[in-house]
Amino acid sequence: MVRLPGRAGTRSTRRSDGQRLQPAPGTARRARERAERDRAAGGWFARRWAALRGRTVAGQVFVLQVVVVLLLVLAAVVALVLQVQHDSTQEARNRSLAVAESFANAPGTAAALTGPDPTAVLQPRAEAARAAAHVDFIVVMNTAGIRYTHPVANRIGKKFVGTIAPAVHGRPVVEEINGTIGRLVQAVVPVKAPDGTVVGLVAAGITTRNAGGLADRQLPVVLGAAAVGLALATAGTALVSRRLLRQTHGLGPGEMTRMYEHHDAVLHSVREGVIIVGDDGRLLLANDEAHRLLGLPEDAEGRRVLDLGLDPGTAALLASGRIATDEVHLVGDRLLAINQRATDLEGGPSGSVATLRDSTELRSLSGRAEEARERLSLLYDAGVGVGTTLDVTRTAEELVRVAVPRFADFATVDLYDAVLRGEEPEQGAALRRAAAGGIRDDAPLLPVGSQIRLVASSPQARSLSARRPVLEPRVEAAPGGPAREAEGTGQVARYGIHSLITVPVRAGNVILGVVDFWRSQKDEPFDAEELALAEELVARAAVSIDNARRYTREHGMAVTLQRSLLPRSLPEQGALEIAYRYLPAQAGVGGDWFDVLPLSGARVALVVGDVVGHGLHAAATMGRLRTAVHNFSALDLPPDELLGLLDEMVDRIDQDERTGATDGAGAPVIGATCLYAVYDPVSRRCAIARAGHPPPAVITPGGEVTFADVPAGPPLGLGGLPFETAELELAEGSRLVLYTDGLVEDRALDIDVGLEELRGALSSAGPSPEETCRAVLDSRLPFRPGDDIALLVARTRALGADRTAEWEVPADPAAVGDVRASVSRCLARWGLEEAAFTTELILSELVTNAIRYGSTPIRVRMLRDTALICEVFDSSSTSPHLRYAASTDEGGRGLFLVAQLADRWGTRYTPTGKVIWAEQSLS
């Protein structure tokens, strides 16, 4: 318990119910009890011993003062010793120099050095001078440093140890060295002749210990004075410690520090107001929280509580000192819960202490906690609801839906055009509004799709350049911002939008655009916490936008590759009227493909295929299969034989991928299907074979829809089973519908159900192939197809008898003339007289070859379609070869002439022989 000065008197320690209050023992109380026990048990000696041990404050003060006195004495002794050493060294320098100069300048010294025996003359003089001057040595030497004198006789004649160069040049030198007799100072001076030349040197030296002696004389005096001072200081310190021990009640420093730390913690650390009031009703102490809650003036301490301008009920409670528990009082706009207790229990100071708790603040804290929970919920919903698709625009729309109205009243997402195309954005380019939304639809914000040019001083431009979010508490004060959005339709600020947060959409080091959050309904502007929330919200959405951008780029590349592998236009032919549709899957590019291939004899081949899987590998595999079909169709093979060759090729591809892809980049063709059909407009028959592909649909001229009964062979690449060809006779005007499984199959749709739905769509379709394609896709196409869809519709045409001519040719070379005559008459009937000469020449060569090298029966047929076609049938399987005849050969130029005159020519085999054909263009 803290005792405060100026508190007198006692208060009752009984509660209103008459029971005595029993406080818990405190630090001060325990200290008083311990001091009383020490006085009763140990007397004066025990108290002094406890003080000397340093356990109490008094003991520590005593020890500290004794230590200070000792340190002062020690410092004085050290200073004296250092001073004596300095004085001794200086005295040695002065004495050695004086002795050396005196001996060098003594009468007879210079003359003795030039005499025959300098040692005999100078040695006695030097020793006498050394004893009289009280130095350790006087050495006379020549200019080379060879001694003539020395206190030790055996060192005469040896070289002097020391610096002599300055003395040889006429200047004395004094130095300190460590000699054999200890640390010494020696001086070397020159001995000059009358004419000024240096004829010798004199050195005198003395050890520093011999030069001293002052310290030995002064040290006892200093130590004695220090002992007397220490005794006096100890006695005075003991008297001070005795009084301090009595006043602190034997408390140690740790106990006193802990007591005052508890005092400060109670007063200033808790989020409750603390007030101590004396028994006279004066305010003794109030912590910072009490000042804030009650609105107390700075000079409130020492004044009467009733004079502080408090609420009358609150002031009366604090001044009365009565016990109160959680009494609620209205102070200003705050509801305060007050608890009050007396402080004079167990001999403590009289008065009362009251604690004040702000229940209004608690409600505010609860509201802030709820707000934080809502923000966490917003971030969670953004993580779940943004980025559900790999579409940039839809991802931006999802961000707007999450933010409005839970975070902002209006939100806009502006992205670079390159981002919308799936490309890498270029900083500084124009932005385009990808998504926008708000609580109302009439806001003066630019609509979706608008191109936005940022003003350099606008918040959006500053945010993009600094790559950091920008908070504009007042939109009307933001330079460039309202003008950018108004576009002449009115000011944003006039509409009521008053606060803005703009955040750059950043994915790593790439800036994709900017997101704006606008506020209009709340009067308060956005704050720093909401700025951090907006940054986190956009950061999560930026990852999804960047993923969608990358997917758009990869998907566009794959679609471009796939479309480059598909036919860009249909070839010219007259047997079929064709329309087609191709739709890539939204989940990724697949391997669906189709083709229309003109064949000889006015025939047309239709092919539709599907490679299982999506991505670039499926598209590339599709391109390989389409190229292979192109090459195989040039051989004029039946559909089953062509599928057999295609099956072998896929098997080889799989083997190459399994054995050659050491880096894991390759992958086998997991599944590929194909349907190949050949339509002959002369016979109106269609030969069809399929390898794991859905059957084709046939629509009769009357509108009846059937699925052709074509044997289903295995998918390509499995091998082991042959393919079968089915022949259909199609009436003129019939429609043959070829498609891939994406049209009739779905994860939630069985193929039989899909076929029936396709049958219904075909039954209601118009008569043209274009109308058929449109009706099928309108009825069957889902909103987002999960697989590629290829649809090919061909309406048959017939080559009538008026455009065909056929003759039987006997195996007689003379029959060639009759054939030429018949051809001339036929061409005249068709109005093609200008082609008669070329045609007669071609048929003459082909019929001659058939008669000479083929077998009977021999038959000639001419067809007038988009080209003039000549065909020669025979029952031989021998294939003719084009060769170049030598100049001396009489024959061998027939096929060469045919190849030069015809646009195309070739050979196809039939079950009963072969056909050699040639085409001439009629354009």
pLDDT in tens, 792-848: 999 999 998 889 999 998 888 888 888 889 999 999 999 898 888 888 888 888 888
Q: CB–CB of 636/614 below 8 Å?
A: no
Query: For the residues 190-210, what does the mean pLDDT come to?
Result: 85
Mean pLDDT of the chain: 81
How far apart CA 809 and CA 815 sit, in angstroms, is 7
- pLDDT recorded at residue 707: 94
Phi, psi dihedrals of residue 709, rounded to the nearest 5°: -85, 85
How far apart CA 735 and CA 596 sit, in angstroms, is 15
Query: For the residues 360-388, what does the mean pLDDT come to?
Result: 75
- pLDDT recorded at residue 785: 62
The better pLDDT of the pair 171, 366 is held by 171
Q: Within 10 A of 393 (CB to CB), how many other CB atoms are there? A: 18
Q: Within 10 A of 923 (CB to CB), how many other CB atoms are there? A: 5
Taking only the tens place, the pLDDT of each residue in 690-747 is 999 999 999 999 999 999 999 988 998 887 788 999 999 999 999 999 999 888 887 6
Phi, psi dihedrals of residue 495, rounded to the nearest 5°: -70, -20
Q: What is the pTM of this model?
A: 0.51
- pLDDT recorded at residue 666: 52
At 10, the pLDDT band (50, 70, 90 cuts) reads very low
- pLDDT recorded at residue 51: 46
The better pLDDT of the pair 265, 313 is held by 313
**Res 338 pLDDT > 50:** yes
- pLDDT recorded at residue 688: 96
How far apart CA 739 and CA 476 sit, in angstroms, is 61
How far apart CA 773 and CA 794 sit, in angstroms, is 10
- pLDDT recorded at residue 348: 63
**Res 215 pLDDT > 70:** no
At 683, the pLDDT band (50, 70, 90 cuts) reads very high
Lowest mean pLDDT segment, chosen from 332-346, 402-416, 456-470: 332-346
**Res 879 pLDDT > 90:** no
Instruction: Specify which residues 691 forms β-bridges with.
Output: 674, 713
At 4, the pLDDT band (50, 70, 90 cuts) reads very low
Count Cβ neighbours within 10 Å for each residue of 360-379 and write b for 16 or more, e otherwise: eeeeeeeeeeeeeeebeebe
Q: CB–CB of 746/781 below 8 Å?
A: no
Q: Which of 719, 669, 670, 668 is nearest to 691 (CA)?
A: 719
How far apart CA 100 and CA 659 sit, in angstroms, is 107
Cα distances (Å, whole numbers) of residue 329 to 319, 338, 340: 15, 8, 13
